[in-house]
């Protein structure tokens, strides 16, 4: 066809298509009809034309996040060769995916399908582009939200769109359906679900435009056994009981007193219990002794030290980035906050709205390094459990996070400034964080001025300091975001994995293992004014937390213990393990530039030289992610514990525990009991005691025998793990 004639024909078709009701066909929208088809067919996914440089000279935005760019690419790029207005059915856009012409992506649709007919109508109508008058998606729902299927069972989910003009639409033909675990549940393009070969849980996602909704599909591991023996202590137990019934899982019995006592100390204080405290707890016959022990642990001074260190990791407290004075200022503020049990909404608000000298006011160090991008991403990840980094460059490909969300959030930090200062008599190096008079954020692609709006919230500003509006939204009693993040984080710290895992990746397409429990814990935390000790008390008092670490045979199919049918043993962190070695050996590690008495969990940052801490994976505090702390076992760790000089030096220390026991001529059985108590937090069994006494007596000297026993205990999993 002559090119001039084709252009003229296209103009005529566009003119006719602009007349309402032209041809008796409903008008096809590029934004709400064409783009969803390209997403559903996979045309704009990363492996196809949505790749960074596209495929075959044809590039689309990833998952259709840029309507204008995609329209230009389809209609105008390549000299307009992809559409044939005079003969729409011969358009490359239709010929390629139906294999009317060779297509590296294979057949994506047939010429009888709804997708084909819709695209054909769109070309026939002149390929109208995106318009400001297009209706906008308000909400996307999927029903039902939870389905329990027996093996071989089938079900169906329905996706529905609600638009800003009040209209609704069933999306059976438009939306893209995916299953996160096809081995558990498969989903067809129309939303039909069938249970597959594996057991467990799968999230079925529906994606439409830039929004995602998720349904939970459960395929029980087996027939639900009797759970009459499990007596709930609080809401944690009640809500897990409901989940176990659905999944056909059976929890382990409750752990013994020694395991419980050691567990609460390591979880809450990263500190082993004192031998005398272990013996007193075991001898206590009162029915509420576990509740009393929990309260006593929460009142210990080590509580503030441990959680200041933990949050120092998250807030990247390091002399390398904020200087030594800033590092100490933030560390001391963290210790004071946890010592006073400061409400966590106040804690977060003080960090977000901080101004002044970082040397004088600890929270100001939150703004010590980086700029608005880093502050935006850290705020989202640390306080809301959301990873926004992906949305900086494009809409999130698997989540309801838009590029606009990132820059609307960034607008809260666009007026934060830093300048040098000589205040408070400090000579050089100090600075002041302050609020500037102006500063705006523009969308990098559209150039649009972005009004401050929190992710998932409504626009909110403040005439003096925008960050105050953000802090007010985060701490609002009507907003679960902060409370859900805190509940999930601390659950992960106490159980080895979060209800949402990873613990700082809360999103619709990464659903929690127990959604009802996460919401209940969040609501309970809000109701108790963000009292974090109340949350920890609730967790530790639950029977779920007190379960044995030995899985029941009927629940071993739940290999990763996603449903906490038993307690998952977790290796002590690097700092806690070094302190435990010192405690067991009766020694004290000396850190450069610090007075004697500082333990590893007392350290204000990660820049104190320690081969042991580096070997066991302490974080460098470079990124605000839990993933920075390495928990993977290595051969180097094993060699350090088995034959490393540090352990041998501490076991044989002239002023250590073994030297003291030997000098006091302690009876072998009493010395052995003390070594078990200071390492495993329990007395030895009769068999263990008998065998250990024989080994000590067979050694050349009692000192050598006790040293060998202590070295052996330090190298057991029972010592190195919290179980």
Q: Is residue 144 reached through a cis peptide bond, with omega within 30 degrees of 0 on the bond before it? A: yes
Please give the Cα distance from 60 to 54 (Å, whole number). Answer: 7
d(CA 272, CA 200): 36
Residue 226 lies in a domain: no
Residue 547, in any domain of the structure: no
Say yes or no: 341 and 463 in one domain.
Answer: yes
For residue 327, which of 61, 608, 707 has the smallest C-alpha distance?
608
Cα distances (angstroms) measured from residue 504 to each of 316, 377, 497, 498, 628: 15, 12, 11, 9, 12
Q: Identify the residue whose tokens are 């001391």.
A: 332
Phi/psi class of residue 186: alpha, beta or left (left: φ > 0; alpha: ψ in -120 to 50)?
beta
From edge to edge, which strands make up the β-sheet containing 211-219?
A: 146-148, 211-219, 200-208, 176-179
Note whether residue 443 is domain-resident: yes
Q: Is residue 568 part of a domain?
A: no
Provide the token pair at 73.
């690419």
Q: Is residue 548 part of a domain?
A: no
- At 24 the pLDDT is 66
What's the rounded mean pLDDT across residues 156-173?
95
Considering the domain architecture, whether residues 107 and 159 belong to the same structural domain is answered as no
Q: Which helix (H) or strand (E) holds 420?
A: strand 416-420
- 209 and 336 assigned to the same domain: no
Q: Is the pLDDT of residue 603 over 80?
A: yes
Are 120 and 150 in the same domain?
Answer: no
- Kindly state whether residues 9 and 70 are assigned to the same domain: yes
Question: Is 285 within a domain?
Answer: no
Number of domains in the chain: 4
Separation CA 705–CA 666 (nearest Å): 13
Task: Look at residue 516 and tell me if it is in a domain.
Answer: no
Domain interval for residue 154: 137-219
> What digits encode the pLDDT tens for the residues 385-408?
999 988 888 777 667 788 899 999
Q: Is residue 150 part of a domain?
A: yes
98, 124, 150 - which closes a domain: 124
Structure-token match 């390549």, residue found: 78
Query: Which domain-ending residue is among 430, 454, 475?
Result: 475
Domain boundary among 100, 124, 148: 124
Residues 100 and 208 in one domain: no
Report the candidate in 127, 508, 532, 178 with the shortest Cα–Cα distance to residue 338.
Answer: 532
CA dihedral 272, 275, 278, 284 (to 10 degrees): -150
Q: Within 13 Å of residue 87, how many CA atoms lie on the same side as its CB?
A: 6
SS3 sequence of 627-684: HHCCCCCCHHHHHHHHHCHHHHHHHCCCCCHHHHHHHCCCCHHHHHHHHHHHHCCCCC
Q: Is the pLDDT of residue 3 over 80?
A: no
Task: Report the CATH number at residue 691.
Answer: 1.10.3130
Domain shared by 311 and 434, yes or no: yes
State the virtual CA torsion across 15, 18, 24, 25 in degrees, nearest 10: 110
pLDDT digits (tens, 9 = 90+) for 41-97: 999 888 899 888 889 899 998 888 889 999 999 999 988 889 999 899 999 999 999
Task: Please say whether the beta carbons of 328 and 620 come within 8 A.
Answer: no
Instruction: Note whether 93 and 167 are same-domain residues.
Output: no
Question: What tokens does 367 get?
Answer: 């703004």
| pLDDT for residue 423 | 54
> Are residue 169 and residue 107 in the same domain, yes or no?
no
Tell me the two tokens of residue 281. Answer: 């707890």
Q: Are 53 and 197 part of one and the same domain?
A: no
* Kind and range of the H or E run holding 239: helix 235-247
Is the domain of 643 the same as that of 691? Answer: yes
Same domain, 314 and 460: yes
Task: Please tell me the predicted confidence (pLDDT) of residue 23.
Answer: 55
CATH number for the domain spanning 193: value is: 2.60.40.1080
Share the mean pLDDT of the chain: 92
């Amino acid at each position: 066809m002559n090119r001039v004639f084709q252009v003229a024909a296209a103009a005529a078709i566009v003119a006719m298509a602009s007349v309402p009701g032209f041809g008796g066909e409903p008008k096809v929208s590029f934004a709400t009809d064409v783009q969803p088809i390209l997403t559903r067919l996979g045309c704009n996914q990363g492996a196809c034309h949505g790749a960074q440089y596209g495929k075959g000279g044809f590039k689309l935005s990833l998952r259709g996040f840029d309507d204008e760019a995609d329209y230009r690419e389809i209609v105008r790029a390549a000299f307009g060769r992809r559409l044939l207005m005079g003969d729409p059915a011969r358009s490359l856009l239709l010929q390629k995916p139906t294999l009317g012409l060779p297509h590296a992506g294979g057949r994506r649709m047939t010429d009888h399908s709804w997708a084909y007919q819709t695209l054909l109508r769109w070309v026939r109508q002149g390929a109208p582009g995106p318009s400001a008058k297009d209706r906008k998606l308000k909400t996307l729902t999927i029903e039902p939200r939870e389905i329990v299927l027996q093996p071989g069972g089938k079900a169906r989910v329905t996706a529905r769109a609600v638009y800003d003009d009040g209209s609704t639409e069933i999306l059976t033909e438009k939306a893209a359906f995916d299953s996160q675990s096809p081995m558990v549940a498969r989903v067809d393009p129309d939303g039909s679900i069938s249970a597959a070969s594996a057991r467990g849980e799968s999230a079925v996602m529906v994606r439409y435009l830039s929004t995602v909704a998720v349904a939970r599909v459960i395929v029980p591991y087996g027939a639900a056994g009797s759970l009459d023996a499990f007596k709930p202590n609080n809401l944690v137990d009640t809500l897990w009981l409901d989940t176990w019934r659905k999944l056909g899982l059976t929890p382990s019995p409750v752990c013994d007193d020694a395991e419980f006592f050691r567990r609460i100390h390591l979880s809450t204080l990263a500190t082993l219990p004192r031998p005398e405290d272990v013996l007193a707890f075991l001898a206590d016959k009162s029915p509420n002794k576990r509740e009393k022990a929990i309260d006593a642990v929460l009142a210990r001074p080590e509580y503030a030290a441990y959680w200041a260190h933990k949050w120092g990791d998250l807030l990247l407290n390091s002399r390398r980035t904020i200087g030594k004075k800033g590092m100490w200022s933030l560390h001391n503020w963290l210790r004071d906050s946890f010592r006073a049990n400061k409400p966590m909404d106040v804690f977060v608000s003080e960090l977000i709205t901080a101004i002044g000298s970082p040397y004088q006011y600890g929270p100001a160090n939150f703004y010590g390094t980086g700029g608005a991008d880093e502050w935006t991403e850290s705020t989202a990840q640390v306080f809301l459990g959301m990873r926004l980094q992906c949305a900086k460059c494009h809409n999130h490909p698997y989540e309801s996070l838009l590029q606009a969300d990132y820059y609307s959030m960034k607008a809260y930090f666009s007026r934060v400034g830093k300048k040098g200062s000589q205040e408070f008599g400090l000579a050089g190096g100090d600075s002041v964080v302050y609020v500037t008079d102006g500063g705006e954020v523009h969308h990098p692609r559209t150039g649009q001025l972005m009004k401050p709006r929190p992710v998932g919230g409504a626009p909110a500003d403040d005439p003096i300091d925008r960050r105050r509006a953000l802090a007010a939204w985060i701490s609002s009693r009507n907003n679960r975001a902060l409370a859900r993040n805190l509940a999930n984080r601390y659950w992960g710290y106490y159980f080895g994995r979060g209800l949402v895992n990873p613990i700082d990746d809360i999103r619709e397409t990464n659903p929690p293992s127990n959604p009802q429990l996460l919401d209940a814990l969040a609501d309970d935390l809000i109701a108790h004014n963000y009292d974090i000790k109340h949350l920890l008390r609730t967790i530790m008092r639950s029977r779920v937390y007190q379960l044995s670490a030995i899985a029941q045979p009927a629940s071993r199919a739940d290999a990763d213990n996603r449903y906490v049918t038993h307690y998952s043993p977790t290796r002590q962190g690097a700092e806690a393990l070094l302190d435990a070695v010192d405690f067991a050996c009766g020694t004290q590690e000396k850190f450069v530039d610090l007075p004697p008495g500082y333990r590893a969990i007392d350290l204000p940052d990660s820049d104190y030289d320690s081969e042991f801490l580096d070997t066991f994976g302490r974080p460098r505090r470079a990124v605000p992610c839990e993933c920075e702390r390495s928990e993977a076992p290595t051969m180097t760790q094993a060699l350090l514990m088995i034959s490393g000089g540090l352990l041998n030096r501490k076991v044989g220390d002239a002023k250590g525990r073994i030297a003291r026991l030997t000098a006091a001529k302690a009876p072998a059985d009493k010395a052995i009991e003390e070594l078990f108590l200071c390492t495993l937090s329990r007395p030895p069994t009769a068999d263990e005691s008998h065998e250990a006494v024989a080994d000590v007596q067979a050694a050349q000297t009692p000192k050598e025998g006790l040293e060998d026993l202590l070295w052996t205990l330090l190298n057991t999993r029972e010592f190195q793990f919290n179980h």
